[in-house]
Structure 1
Amino acid sequence: MSRLEDEATKQGNLLRDKGDFDGAIAAYTEAIRLHPQNAQPYSGRGQAYLRKGEVDKAIADCNRAIELDPMMAEAYCCRADSHGRNGDFDKAVADCTEAIRLDPQRAEAYCTEAIHLDAHRAEAYFARGLVYAKKSEFDKAIVDFTESVRLDLRHAEVYCGRGYAYHKKGEFDKAIADYDEAVRLDPKQAITYCNRGLSYVKKGGYDKAIADFTEAVRLSPKDAEAYYNRGCTYGKKGDHDKAIADYTEAVRLNLKQAVVYYGRGCCYAEKGDHDKAIADYGEAVTLNPEYAEAYYNRGCAYVEKGDHDKAINDFTAAIRINPKNGYVFYSRGYSYFQKGDRAQADADLAQAEKLGYKAKPGREAHRQ
């Protein structure tokens, strides 16, 4: 940046902050003339245009700033604010999310400054609510989303955001109420049905959850997480065939996460198909080598097949990751007993009792 360009940009910042938006725009325009490949004056001019209410010009300048510097969080913030004013909340959320990913502190500061300049800007409260939610500051997020609603920003995304914050706080009834309103305002958003379904799951409302996940799949047939969530819920209901079908579809759609294979493995185990269960648990620990439950359950599957050496190896791996679970020591003790190693079996059973897991006569290894 040349000295003249730097001075022009600083002058633009000063004038913008003083409320002289026309003067700021002129200064930024001069900075752009001197160095048209620098993103900063485009971002500054975009903010000045936004403050003047010339939203389309603001978006155009933010577009250019992001094109020149894709890592400029403040340009995404300004564009998110602009899209919000235009009522394009899908784009606003996408830009705000990217700004948070790049620089959550800068995103929060931008939104707070916007609120300071105009306490009635509902979009700024909404954007800051998204920032707080991303930072897991859910109480603050709820306050901001609520203020944006009070200022009459009645869009589905606002209620969905507040519902998510309530869900993360464990207030599932409030979450569901907000998701209900989001669905009423925009019944075509798959994410809202998915989120409401997760809240129903937490309340034990599995049938309602499945209905919501099914609607999410209908609206977005390539949403792998919707299939995964429905698969988990079918599993909780004991409908393992449907659960397996959904887990398999999630994998086909490239949701190759350890929990997906683990969930499907558990269903195969419940059906007595221990070879397929072992294969899925194997995929799970390959994807997440610290997945203690997957090692443990694979160990249980090996016990069912009578392969106590492999079972002991898996139980030992689970103990290495989490040495506080008494049932794992008990299960390993059982396998040692089956192999005739009474000393090691007694040691493991004693450790299980020490950790609060009472040995029961005839109890074998059992899945978690």
Structure 2
Amino acid sequence: MMIRAAIIASVAPVLLLLSPGWPAAAQQPQKANLLESIERCNGKDRIPAQARVAGCTALIDSGDTKPEALALAYNNRGNAYAAAAEYDRAISDFDRAIELASDYVKPLNNRGVAYMRKGAYEDAVKSFDAAIRLDPAYGSAFANRAEAHLKLNQYDRAVLDFDEAIRLDPKLTWATSGRCWTRAVIGDLQAGLDDCDRAIQSGSNDAATYDSRALIHLKMGQFAAAIDDYSSALRLAPNLASALYGRGLARLRQGDNAGGDRDVSAAKLIDLKIADAFARYGVQ
């Protein structure tokens, strides 16, 4: 099961806060340098992660930012490190942002995403818990916590969190897709199908949503529809083991032994435990 779309809170704009007492003539180059660093730290023009890190580092090391702006810089640098898959560095920066601004919710959510991406799912849940305590209306934090619960096979908890995320933010399409997957696994098939249909009709065009709907069709015995959806998922993510394995099972049940065996074998080359996962989903 892939992490569908765990959301790191968007980069927070860093404000320019020069230390008082600088002579006016000295402030001009200093201000120009800081403005450039701010633009890079804020990720202007979608610059590469390492350039964002450099911009934020310049701000952090400048001594010319107040604590609230420094917290933003640490949060933004944490986002950049996370984008570069340097999760331990990201977590360290999010920790520092939280220390500097205890009422700043974004680094709590972002730290949870970083923990989740490195596979520390229980730590991720704790971080999302803290974000939700600070802001009970933070829909993305509920959806992110649901994804962590899924990784821990805590499906009932995941459904409750997806429910709350969608209640708070009905436009959170990836949460609707995630609830579809969860309902597919626990056997709430028609409600799950409705979720996936809604997500796709809302413009969702990701492998995870088609993979989820395919599992529902497979469990319903609608093998042709399952094959169609698994094929759609594989066009978007050709190495998605769950889609290959599920399509293989659907083909086998339609009597296509050669095609089914080929898909199942390819899936097992990608993920040796994929059959165990499907057994956990209720499909043998």
Q: Shorter-normalised TM-score: what interval?
A: 0.7 to 0.9
Hey, what does 2:60 align to over in structure 1? 115
Cα offset for 1:193?
0.7
Q: State the alpha-carbon separation in 2 of the partners of residues 129 and 178 from structure 1.
A: 15
AA aligned opposite 1:44 = A
> What SS is found at the alignment partner of 1:217?
helix
Q: 1:162 aligned to 98, 111, 127, which one?
A: 111
TM-aligned CA distance change 1:112 to 1:261, over 3 Å: same
Hey, what does 1:242 align to over in structure 2? 191
Cα offset for 1:229?
0.9
AA aligned opposite 1:117 = S
Q: State the alpha-carbon separation in 2 of the partners of residues 323 and 171 from structure 1.
A: 25
Q: 2:163 aligned to 204, 209, 214, which one?
A: 214
TM-aligned CA distance change 1:100 to 1:326, over 3 Å: closer
Residue 76 in structure 1 maps to residue 25 in structure 2: no
Q: 1:23 aligned to 25, 39, 43, which one?
A: 25
Hey, what does 1:312 align to over in structure 2? 258
**Percent same amino acid at aligned positions?**
30
Taking only aligned residues, the RMSD between alpha carbons, in angstroms, comes to 3.2
Q: 1:199 aligned to 133, 148, 153, which one?
A: 148
Residue 256 in structure 1 maps to residue 201 in structure 2: no
Q: State the alpha-carbon separation in 2 of the partners of residues 165 and 27 from structure 1.
A: 36
Structure with greater contact order relative to length (CA < 8 Å, sep ≥ 6): 2
AA aligned opposite 2:75 = F
Q: State the alpha-carbon separation in 2 of the partners of residues 326 and 166 from structure 1.
A: 22
TM-aligned CA distance change 1:264 to 1:147, over 3 Å: same
Hey, what does 2:84 align to over in structure 1? 135
Q: Which moved more, 1:226-235 or 1:127-136?
A: 127-136
Q: State the alpha-carbon separation in 1 of the partners of residues 136 and 271 from structure 2.
A: 47
> What SS is found at the alignment partner of 1:188?
coil
Q: State the alpha-carbon separation in 2 of the partners of residues 24 and 216 from structure 1.
A: 49
AA aligned opposite 1:143 = S
Answer yes or no: is the 8 Å Cα contact 1:74–1:99 preserved in 2.
no
Answer yes or no: is the 8 Å Cα contact 2:52–2:80 preserved in 1.
yes
Q: Deviations over 1:209-261 (max 9, x none)?
A: 11111111112212210011111111221222222111111111111122221
> What SS is found at the alignment partner of 2:230?
helix
Q: State the alpha-carbon separation in 2 of the partners of residues 140 and 100 from structure 1.
A: 24
Q: Which moved more, 1:295-304 or 1:103-112?
A: 295-304
Cα offset for 1:127?
2.2
Answer yes or no: is the 8 Å Cα contact 2:245–2:267 preserved in 1.
no
Hey, what does 1:341 align to over in structure 2? none
Q: State the alpha-carbon separation in 2 of the partners of residues 305 and 260 from structure 1.
A: 23
Hey, what does 1:273 align to over in structure 2? 222
Answer yes or no: is the 8 Å Cα contact 1:266–1:277 preserved in 2.
yes
Cα offset for 1:169?
3.0
Cα offset for 1:75?
5.0
> What is the 5 A alignment of 1:1-368?
20=22, 22-24=24-26, 26=28, 44=32, 47=34, 74-77=37-40, 96=42, 98-99=43-44, 101-118=46-63, 121-291=70-240, 293-306=242-255, 308=256, 311-313=257-259, 315-316=261-262, 319=265, 324=269
TM-aligned CA distance change 1:303 to 1:103, over 3 Å: closer
Answer yes or no: is the 8 Å Cα contact 1:235–1:243 preserved in 2.
yes
Q: Deviations over 1:324-350 (max 9, x none)?
A: 3799xxxxxxxxxxxxxxxxxxxxxxx
Answer yes or no: is the 8 Å Cα contact 1:74–1:106 preserved in 2.
no
TM-aligned CA distance change 1:142 to 1:288, over 3 Å: closer
Q: State the alpha-carbon separation in 2 of the partners of residues 263 and 172 from structure 1.
A: 21
Q: State the alpha-carbon separation in 1 of the partners of residues 89 and 120 from structure 2.
A: 15
TM-aligned CA distance change 1:27 to 1:170, over 3 Å: closer
Hey, what does 1:85 align to over in structure 2? none
TM-aligned CA distance change 1:322 to 1:178, over 3 Å: closer
Structure number with bigger Rg: 1
Gaps of 5+ in 1: 1-15, 29-42, 49-72, 79-95, 328-356, 358-365
Q: State the alpha-carbon separation in 2 of the partners of residues 323 and 236 from structure 1.
A: 20
Q: State the alpha-carbon separation in 2 of the partners of residues 317 and 236 from structure 1.
A: 21
